Chain A
Amino acid sequence: MTKFEDEKRKLDKQELNEDRERLDKDMHEKTHSTKNDSFSKDRTDATPHDIDTHMQANPGASGEGHGAIDQESLPRSTPGWRILIQEVIHDKLALFSFIILVVITSYVFGLTLFLKQSEIVFVDLFAINEPPGDTFRLGTDYGGRDVFGQLIIGTRNSLAIGFLVTGISVGFGVVYGVVAGYFGGHIDNIMMRIVDFFMVLPFLMVIIVYVTISPDYDILSFSLIMAAFLWVGTARLIRSVAIQEKELDYINASRTLGSSHIKIIFTQLLPNLVGIIIVNATLNLAGNIGIESGLSFIGFGFPEDTPSLGTLMSYATQTQTLRHRPWIWAPAAILILVLMLCVRNVGEAMRRAGDARQRNA
Chain B
Amino acid sequence: MSEYLLEVKDLKVHYPIKGGFFNTTKDYVRAVDGVSIRIPKGKTYGLVGESGSGKTTTGKAVIGLNHVTDGEIFYKGEKMNSGKKVDVSSEIQMIFQDPYSSLNPRKRVFDIVAEPIKNYHRKSKDDLIEEVLGLLNKVGLPPGSLYKYPHEFSGGQRQRIGVARAIALNPELIIADEPVSALDVSVQAQVLNFMQEIQQEMGLTMLFIAHDLGVVRHMCEWIGIMYHGRLVEEGPAEEIFNNPQHIYTKRLIAAIPDTNVDNIERNLQRREEVRIEYENHFHEYLDENGKPFPLVSISENHKVALPPKGGEQVNA
Interface residues of A (CB under 8 A from B): 1, 24, 27-28, 30-31, 34, 36, 38-41, 61, 64-67, 69, 71, 73-78, 248-250, 252-259, 263, 268, 271-272, 274, 356-357
Q: CA A27 – CA B143 in complex, angstroms?
A: 8
Kindly supply a per-residue 1/0 record for chain B positions 212-239, scoring 1 wherever the CB is within 8 Å of any chain A CB and 0 otherwise.
0000000000000000000000000000
Residues B106 and A66 in contact, CB atoms below 8 Å apart: no
> Assuming the A-B contacts A39-B157, A40-B190, A257-B119, are A66 and B134 also in contact, with contact meaning beta carbons closer than 8 angstroms in the complex?
yes
Residues A257 and B165 in contact, CB atoms below 8 Å apart: yes
The answer, yes or no, to whether B193 is at the interface (CB within 8 Å) is yes
Kindly supply a per-residue 1/0 record for chain B positions 56-91, scoring 1 wherever the CB is within 8 Å of any chain A CB and 0 otherwise.
000010011100000000000000000000001010
Residues A64 and B143 in contact, CB atoms below 8 Å apart: no
List of A residues within 8 angstroms of B88 by Cβ? 255-256, 258
Residues A39 and B156 in contact, CB atoms below 8 Å apart: yes
> Assuming the A-B contacts A248-B101, A258-B88, A356-B106, are A77 and B116 also in contact, with contact meaning beta carbons closer than 8 angstroms in the complex?
no
Sample of 19 further A-B pairs with CB below 8 A, known A31-B145, A258-B120: A31-B142, A36-B154, A36-B190, A39-B141, A69-B133, A69-B143, A73-B143, A74-B146, A77-B108, A250-B102, A253-B165, A254-B104, A255-B64, A256-B63, A257-B119, A257-B165, A258-B88, A268-B107, A272-B106
The 8 A-B pairs with the shortest beta carbon distances in the complex, nearest first, are A27-B144, A65-B134, A249-B102, A257-B116, A65-B137, A271-B106, A258-B119, A77-B147
The answer, yes or no, to whether B284 is at the interface (CB within 8 Å) is no
The answer, yes or no, to whether B151 is at the interface (CB within 8 Å) is yes
The answer, yes or no, to whether B287 is at the interface (CB within 8 Å) is no
Residues B115 and A78 in contact, CB atoms below 8 Å apart: no
List of B residues within 8 angstroms of A253 by Cβ? 94, 96, 102-103, 162, 165
Residues A38 and B134 in contact, CB atoms below 8 Å apart: no
Of A65, A67, A77, most buried by chain B (CB within 10 Å of CB) is A65
Residues B104 and A268 in contact, CB atoms below 8 Å apart: yes
Residues A258 and B90 in contact, CB atoms below 8 Å apart: yes
Interface residues of B (CB under 8 A from A): 60, 63-65, 88, 90, 92-94, 96-98, 101-108, 110, 115-116, 119-120, 126, 129-131, 133-138, 140-149, 151-154, 156-157, 160, 162, 165, 169, 187, 190, 193
Of A38, A41, A74, A254, which contacts B115 at CB under 8 A? A254
Q: CA A28 – CA B142 in complex, angstroms?
A: 10
List of B residues within 8 angstroms of A28 by Cβ? 144
Of A1, A30, A71, A249, most buried by chain B (CB within 10 Å of CB) is A249
Of B102, B106, B115, B187, most buried by chain A (CB within 10 Å of CB) is B106
Residues A256 and B94 in contact, CB atoms below 8 Å apart: yes
List of B residues within 8 angstroms of A76 by Cβ? 147
> Assuming the A-B contacts A31-B142, A40-B190, A75-B146, are A65 and B133 also in contact, with contact meaning beta carbons closer than 8 angstroms in the complex?
yes
List of A residues within 8 angstroms of B138 by Cβ? 65
A146: min CB distance to chain B, Å:
50
Residues A39 and B140 in contact, CB atoms below 8 Å apart: yes
Residues A66 and B130 in contact, CB atoms below 8 Å apart: yes
- Chain B residue with the shortest CB-CB distance to A260: B119
List of A residues within 8 angstroms of B102 by Cβ? 248-250, 252-253
Q: CA A254 – CA B116 in complex, angstroms?
A: 8
List of B residues within 8 angstroms of A39 by Cβ? 140-141, 156-157, 160, 190
Of B115, B156, B160, most buried by chain A (CB within 10 Å of CB) is B115
Residues B144 and A249 in contact, CB atoms below 8 Å apart: no
List of A residues within 8 angstroms of B165 by Cβ? 253, 257
Of A1, A34, A257, most buried by chain B (CB within 10 Å of CB) is A257
Residues B98 and A77 in contact, CB atoms below 8 Å apart: no
List of A residues within 8 angstroms of B141 by Cβ? 39
Cβ contacts A to B, 26 pairs, < 8 Å: A28-B144, A34-B154, A36-B154, A36-B157, A39-B141, A39-B156, A64-B137, A65-B135, A66-B130, A66-B131, A69-B137, A77-B146, A249-B98, A249-B102, A250-B101, A253-B94, A253-B102, A255-B64, A256-B65, A257-B93, A257-B165, A258-B88, A259-B115, A263-B119, A272-B104, A356-B149
List of A residues within 8 angstroms of B154 by Cβ? 34, 36
Of A36, A253, A356, most buried by chain B (CB within 10 Å of CB) is A253
List of B residues within 8 angstroms of A248 by Cβ? 101-102
Of A1, A249, A259, A271, which contacts B101 at CB under 8 A? A249
Of A41, A64, A258, A271, most buried by chain B (CB within 10 Å of CB) is A258
A55: min CB distance to chain B, Å:
10
List of A residues within 8 angstroms of B120 by Cβ? 258
Residues B119 and A259 in contact, CB atoms below 8 Å apart: yes
> Assuming the A-B contacts A36-B154, A71-B129, A74-B143, are A249 and B96 also in contact, with contact meaning beta carbons closer than 8 angstroms in the complex?
yes
List of A residues within 8 angstroms of B190 by Cβ? 36, 39-41
Q: CA A31 – CA B130 in complex, angstroms?
A: 20
List of A residues within 8 angstroms of B116 by Cβ? 257-258
Q: CA A41 – CA B194 in complex, angstroms?
A: 9
Residues B144 and A30 in contact, CB atoms below 8 Å apart: yes
Residues A272 and B137 in contact, CB atoms below 8 Å apart: no
List of B residues within 8 angstroms of A274 by Cβ? 106
B107: min CB distance to chain A, Å:
8
List of B residues within 8 angstroms of A71 by Cβ? 126, 129-130
Of A1, A65, A255, which contacts B65 at CB under 8 A? A255
Q: CA A51 – CA B97 in complex, angstroms?
A: 31
Residues A27 and B96 in contact, CB atoms below 8 Å apart: no
List of A residues within 8 angstroms of B119 by Cβ? 257-259, 263
